[in-house]
Every structure is written in structure tokens, then in C-alpha cells.
Amino acid sequence: MHVLCELCSKTFQTRSGLSEHKQRVHSEHRRYECSTCKKTFAIRSHFLSHSSTHYGTKQFHCEKCGKEFTYKCSLTQHQQSCSGNFTFTCNTCNAVFSRESALKEHVAGKHSGRQYMCTCGKTYIWRASYHRHRQKCFTFDDSCMASNTSE
């Protein structure tokens, strides 16, 4: 079962995952504000992690290559690719990935025909590009959704 966020079209495997996402991303009750960049957070631990990005504090280190990360999850993702362990293969073009999420993103962007269209008229095949645009677009409103436009 997949649960869809009606605000941004992101899908989740559980209702609790959707609930946490809505609180973290879409909540109007963002009590924690970064004094440096004014970004707001609903969850204190996310605010504290974010705050360290402004001061160059990177407490997580890759033992293989020495690269440093602010977030543990960033280190974990990096370690999967740094290890050279590419175990996820695209059935369409044989591209290989170190993370299943990267394979899914590749398939959605390259092979599904799905496009994300903003109310300003711009379209994107990559969800991340669409979300980045959406944060800056002055014509964006809640009706701006992903469309399934197969070519």
C-alpha cells in the first residue's frame, strides 16, 4: 500500500510515514527558527542538525575516503556508494546504483514518462528539480501537482 501526500505528491509506505512527513515538511507550526538563514523547523532535532551546517561542524566521517558530513544519514548514503557496492540494476537500461532509492528515482525520471508541471508552465522529469523550482516560483499554488504525461 502506498499513501500519497496530497500537498506535494510524495508517496509513503505507511500512514505514519505520511504523518511524520506532513509535520516535518508542511506543518504551519514550525517553532524552531534558524537565526542565520531564517529556515524554520517543526522538529527540534532537525533544527539542531541544521544549525550545525552554518558553523562547519561535521561530526560524521567516512573511514574509507575521509569525507565529512553534517548528517549521519548523509554519511550512510555516501558509504553505500563509496564502498563500490552497486547492487541495484535498472531492468530497462542496465544502469547500476548503490541504493534502491536511487534506482527508483532513476526509473521514475528516465523511463516512466511522468512529468511534474508547475502552474507557471514549466515541466520537470525529476521530482527534486520540480520541488527546487516550486520553492522559488511565485505562481505556485496548491493546485500545482505532478501529472502523468506519457510520451
Q: Is residue 36 part of a domain?
A: no
Residue 143 lies in a domain: yes
- Residue 100 located in a structural domain: no
- For 48-99, write each residue's pLDDT tens digit: 778 777 776 778 888 888 888 877 888 888 887 787 777 889 999 999 888 8
Residue 81 in contact with residue 69, Cβ under 8 Å?
A: no
User: Total domain count for the chain?
Assistant: 1
Q: Residue type for 70, please?
A: T
Query: Helix or strand or coil: residue 41?
Result: strand
The domain in which residue 124 lies consists of 114-151
Residue 3 in domain: no
pLDDT, one tens digit per residue, over 127-149 is 888 888 877 776 644 444 444 34
Q: Is the full-model pTM beyond 0.85? A: no
Q: Is residue 56 part of a domain?
A: no
